[in-house]
Amino acid sequence: MAESDARSRAEELIHLEDRWGAHNYRPLDVVIDHAQGVWAYDIEGNRYLDCLSAYSALNQGHCHPRIHQALLEQASRVTLTSRAFRNDQLPLFEAELADMCRMEMVLPMNTGAEAVESAIKAVRRWGYAKKGIAPGEAEIIVCDNNFHGRTTTIVGFSSEPLYRDGFGPFTPGFVNIPFGDTEALEEAITPNTCAFLFEPIQCEAGILVPRDGYLRDVAEICRRNRVLMVADEIQTGLGRTGNLLTCHGEGVQPDVFILGKALSGGVYPVSAVVSTREILGVFRPGSHGSTYGGNPLACAVARAALRVILDEQLPERSEELGTWLLYELRKIQHPHIKEVRGRGLLVGIELFVPARSYCERLKELGLLCKETHDYVIRLAPPLVISREDLAWSVAQIRQAFSM
- Should residue 342 be labelled a site residue for ligand PLP when binding is judged by CB under 6 A? no
Which listed residue (37, 127, 149, 242) binds ligand PLP by CB under 6 A? 149
**From residue 241, how far is each of 197, 259, 280, 360 by CA, in Å?**
19, 14, 27, 26
255 catalytic? Reply is no
The candidate with the shortest Cα–Cα distance to 288, out of 77, 53, 126, 80, is: 126
DSSP secondary structure string, 18-67? HHHS--S----S--EEEEEBTEEEETT--EEEESSHHHHTTTT-BT-HHH
The candidate with the shortest Cα–Cα distance to 122, out of 134, 138, 99, is: 138
Cβ 198 to ligand PLP, closest distance in Å?
10
Which listed residue (37, 112, 266, 381) binds ligand PLP by CB under 6 A? 112
| Residues 309-338: x where in contact with ligand PLP by CB under 6 A, - otherwise, as a string | ------------------------------
Angle at CA 192, nearest 5°, toward 186 and 196?
A: 50
3-class DSSP assignment, residue 338: strand
Backbone dihedral region for residue 380 (phi beyond 0: left; psi -120 to 50: alpha; all else: beta): beta
Cβ 235 to ligand PLP, closest distance in Å?
3
- Should residue 234 be labelled a site residue for ligand PLP when binding is judged by CB under 6 A? yes
147 catalytic? Reply is yes
Q: How many CB atoms are closer than 10 A to CB 57? A: 24
Backbone dihedral region for residue 174 (phi beyond 0: left; psi -120 to 50: alpha; all else: beta): beta
Which listed residue (98, 109, 155, 203) binds ligand PLP by CB under 6 A? 203
Under 8 Å between Cβ of 273 and 105 = no
**Which H or E run includes 230?**
strand 228-232
- Should residue 113 be labelled a site residue for ligand PLP when binding is judged by CB under 6 A? yes
- Dmax (CA) of the chain: 70
Query: How far, in whole angstroms, is CA 32 from its chain's centroid?
Result: 22
Cβ 266 to ligand PLP, closest distance in Å?
11
Cβ 159 to ligand PLP, closest distance in Å?
15
Catalytic residue among 147, 174, 196, 401: 147
- Should residue 133 be labelled a site residue for ligand PLP when binding is judged by CB under 6 A? no
- Should residue 267 be labelled a site residue for ligand PLP when binding is judged by CB under 6 A? no
- Should residue 111 be labelled a site residue for ligand PLP when binding is judged by CB under 6 A? yes
Of the pair 260, 296, the CB lying nearest ligand PLP is at 260
Q: Residue count at the site for ligand PLP (CB under 6 A)?
A: 15
CA distance linking residue 182 with residue 93, whole number of Å: 35
Q: What are φ and ψ of residue 170, in 5° steps?
A: -110, 165
DSSP 189: -
- Should residue 148 be labelled a site residue for ligand PLP when binding is judged by CB under 6 A? yes
Of the pair 198, 401, the CB lying nearest ligand PLP is at 198
Which listed residue (232, 255, 319, 371) binds ligand PLP by CB under 6 A? 232
Of the pair 93, 198, the CB lying nearest ligand PLP is at 198
131 catalytic? Reply is no
Window of 14-22, 142-150, 187-195, 284-292 that interacts with ligand PLP by CB under 6 A = 142-150
Which listed residue (59, 153, 193, 235) binds ligand PLP by CB under 6 A? 235
Cβ 203 to ligand PLP, closest distance in Å?
5
Q: Give the side-chain half-sphere CA count within 13 A for 143.
A: 27
Of the pair 143, 234, the CB lying nearest ligand PLP is at 234
The residues assigned a catalytic role are 147, 232, 261
Tell me which residues touch ligand PLP (CB under 6 A): 55, 111-113, 116, 147-149, 199, 203, 232, 234-235, 260-261
